[in-house]
């Protein structure tokens, strides 16, 4: 495997003031890329830039909430103004507005869709325009979630957005392939402010903060670790070592990296001349309905006390 060297490349990482986004930005900078850090809080964004530059990297901050075309163009233009080009985009920015379907408001739905789904679209579109103009290829890394792969209770808006992001990766990998622009979705699992609120994980995350390592059953069995554990995948996908990898959904967390399958037919049955409700009812239990698919993110398998 060649050494991962991103020297001379410029990246935008949305939502990179803290957490997973900051880990992605640090990893890119550590491998030579110049990074535009993005957050809605100026103090958080500047602190992130300081942490990168103090570690020997190059970074600037652009404070803007993603979602609009104007925000996307600001981010791309900042990279071009500061570094002369754009080679890598990581669409990490996101918010949560969790509620069950019958309690979710239009505002709850629209806010999450705007940030995650429309924000990914507008930023990717602006980046693709610039990369195509440069004519040297590029990398789009779209941040998905297990919720988008399997659904999750109380996350109508978030799960729908993340499922759409996986579909973006498949579609754009075809559209941008001739321009040598790779597009992949990553599916990270890590100890963040969000997972810290899950009671089953809370004591392990608290112990981790106090310097204790996460146990193997989490790091390996659940693929659950720190944001930094997820970060290595980003510079890898941005490098020449992954130039042939596109249109994929790749899970990462703890000690685990995994490839998610695309949706595909798993069973079929046929009737000459077509179907009626009665003929469907007759064959369903012993044909396509014999083994229905599960939904939701499987509960962690904690060791017995």
Of residues 295 and 197, the one with the higher pLDDT is 295
Q: Is 145 a catalytic residue?
A: yes
Q: If DSSP codes are grouped into helix, strand and coil, which group holds residue 58?
A: strand
Nearest to 181 by CA among 239, 137, 128, 236: 137
**Beta-carbon contacts of residue 294 (< 8 Å; ≥ 6 apart):** 150
Q: Is 256 a catalytic residue?
A: no
Q: In degrees, to the nearest 5, what angle opens at C-alpha 166 toward C-alphas 140 and 44?
A: 55
Pick the catalytic residue: 158, 173, 204, 239? 158
Q: In degrees, to the nearest 5, what angle opens at C-alpha 1 toward C-alphas 134 and 9?
A: 25
pTM of the predicted model over 0.85 = yes
Reply yes or no on whether the pLDDT at 81 is more than 80.
yes
pLDDT digits (tens, 9 = 90+) for 11-38: 999 999 999 999 999 999 999 999 999 9
**Across 72-76, average pLDDT:** 98
Pick the catalytic residue: 16, 118, 162, 173? 162
**Across 206-230, average pLDDT:** 91
Give the chain's domains with CATH numbers.
10-190+226-260 (3.40.50.720)
**Across 250-258, average pLDDT:** 97
Pick the catalytic residue: 16, 34, 145, 239? 145
Cα distances (Å, whole numbers) of residue 225 to 20, 147, 180, 195, 272:
11, 17, 32, 11, 52
pLDDT digits (tens, 9 = 90+) for 200-212: 788 888 888 899 9
DSSP bridge partners of 194:
none
């Amino acid at each position: 495997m060649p050494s991962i060297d991103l020297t001379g490349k410029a990246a935008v990482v949305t939502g990179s003031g803290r957490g997973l986004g900051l880990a992605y930005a640090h990893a890119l900078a550590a491998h030579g890329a110049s990074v535009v850090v993005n957050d809605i809080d100026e103090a958080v964004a500047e602190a992130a830039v300081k942490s990168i530059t103090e570690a020997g990297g190059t970074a600037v901050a652009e404070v803007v909430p993603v979602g609009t075309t104007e925000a996307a163009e600001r981010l791309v233009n900042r990279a071009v103004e500061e570094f002369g080009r754009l080679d890598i985009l990581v669409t990490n920015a996101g918010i949560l507005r969790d509620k069950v379907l019958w309690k979710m408001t239009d505002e709850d739905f629209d806010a999450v869709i705007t940030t995650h789904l429309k924000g990914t679209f507008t930023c990717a579109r602006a980046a693709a325009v610039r990369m195509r103009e440069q004519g040297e290829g590029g990398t789009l890394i779209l941040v998905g979630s297990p919720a988008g792969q399997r659904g999750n209770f109380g996350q109508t808006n978030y799960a729908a957005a993340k499922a759409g992001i996986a579909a973006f990766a498949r579609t754009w990998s075809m559209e941008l392939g001739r321009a040598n622009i790779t597009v992949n979705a990553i599916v990270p699992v890590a100890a963040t402010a969000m997972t810290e609120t899950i009671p089953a994980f809370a004591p392990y995350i608290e112990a981790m903060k106090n310097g204790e390592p996460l146990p193997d059953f989490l790091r390996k069995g659940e693929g659950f670790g720190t944001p930094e554990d997820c970060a290595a995948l980003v510079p890898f996908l941005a490098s020449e070592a992954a130039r042939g990898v596109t249109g994929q959904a790749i899970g990462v967390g703890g000690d685990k990296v995994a490839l998610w399958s695309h949706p595909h037919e798993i069973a079929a049955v046929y009737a000459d001349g077509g179907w009626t409700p009665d003929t469907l009812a007759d064959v369903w239990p012993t044909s396509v309905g014999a083994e229905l698919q599960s939904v939701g993110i499987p509960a962690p398998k904690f060791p017995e006390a």
